[in-house]
Amino acid sequence: MERDNINNANNITDLSELRKQIDEIDKKILPLFLERMDICSAVADYKRSVGKPVLDTEREKQVLRSKIDMLDDKSRENEVYELYSAIMSISRDRQSRELSRDKGRVKIEDILKPKPHIDDPTVVFYGTDGSYSEEAAIKYFGENRRRFNAKNFEDAFVALKDGSADYAVLPIENSNTGTIVDVMDLLEKYNYYIIGEIDIPIRHCLMGVRGAEISGIKHIYSHEQGILQSREFIKTLSQNGEIICEEYYSTAQSAKKVADDGDKTQAAIAGRRNAEIYGLEILAENINSSDKNTTRFIVVSTHAEVDESCDKISAAFTLPHESGELYRVLACFAHGDLNLLKLESRPLDDKNFEYMFFVDYTGNLLDENVRRITNNVIEGTGEFKLLGNYRLKV
């Protein structure tokens, strides 16, 4: 009978007739689907009574296998898999809403710890005076805010921990070279939060002491990112002989080192402001490989800060090391109509071929729907860490 219906559909050329057939089928599907959802509520009641979680991975795998085994035409496996994966995702969502009344359930609002308002905060930034991080701190907090520098990324987190700073400004991602993984790892290690972000265009310059000439430069200092972002320009200098590039703490500290050493064969890759601060001459401008090069900086605090203006969420999570687990989590975003902005993974140090996933997605955790979807994600993960709910300051 099913094959006859398909053949009949193929013989119909009138689109309106085909749509009518689909409508008739949908009329049959809808009551059955709603009946299924009602049974899901009963399942949630049972799980509440025995303390079981929403996600039962083995049960879902059994359901998917059983549906595929019912097929005579194995070429339709993917379609059936997608259908029932979506249905089970919706079912989990229904059960999560039912179980969200439970006091024992993990809630996003339990993770958000209120922080007293600070009228005159102190800011720590990575690098030294003249760094792009300082530029980001000034742009975000204002020129007159108290600020001091940290020599390395972790020193900035230590300043938050010991209370000498209220906020830290750190680079997190460059449009050319990608994520700065050390900062991501420190966010997870210290369990701190992103409360804001800001983009700074990168305009690198090659600078040396007064009287230096570009043809005489033999040694270049900069942060690893500064060297990577200017690699095409550096290749052109090698025509004058071997150029040694040495990674230094930051672009700004590289400029300071060149100024302190007073060696005309040395140069630094840094922002223009450093030449003014340290009395250096600019030997070449805009040397980064892309004129659209931008670094995203984050503002970090010991506590999450969420208000109505927040529109972006960052989180990290692990997954069971089994096929289909990532798909289940991504389906939560898709069915919840939340835009997934970024997804990347980092290997776990203590486990072979297992990963920590980092995601950015749209939403405000003050919104009940966003909290519900995020709780659905939590249900499907091994460990979950909210990294922040914030907004881009432009």
Positions annotated as catalytic residues are 295, 297
Tokens of 261: 């050493």
Q: Closest Cα partner for 391 from 163, 250, 199?
A: 199
Q: Closest Cα partner for 146 from 124, 131, 117?
A: 124
Sign of the C-alpha dihedral computed for residues 132, 136, 141 and 143 taken in this order: positive
- Cα gap 383→385, rounded to integer Å: 7
Place of tokens 């999570």: 317
Which residues are CB-neighbours of 158 under 8 A, at least 6 positions away? 150
Identify residue 300 by its one-letter amino acid code.
V
Q: Which residues pair with 220 in a beta bridge?
A: 245, 267
Q: Are 179 and 172 in contact (CB under 8 A)?
A: yes
- Cα gap 284→268, rounded to integer Å: 11
Which residues are CB-neighbours of 208 under 8 A, at least 6 positions away? 214, 217, 258, 264, 266, 267, 268, 280, 281, 283
DSSP 61: H
Place of tokens 């980064």: 288
Task: State in Å, rounded, how far the first CA of the chain is from the last one.
Answer: 61
- Cα gap 191→187, rounded to integer Å: 6
Ramachandran region, residue 89 (left: φ > 0; alpha: ψ -120 to 50; beta: rest): alpha
Ramachandran region, residue 262 (left: φ > 0; alpha: ψ -120 to 50; beta: rest): left
Instruction: Count Cβ atoms below 10 Å from residue 5 Cβ, excluding itself.
Output: 11
DSSP 280: P
Q: Closest Cα partner for 230 from 266, 206, 250, 208?
A: 206
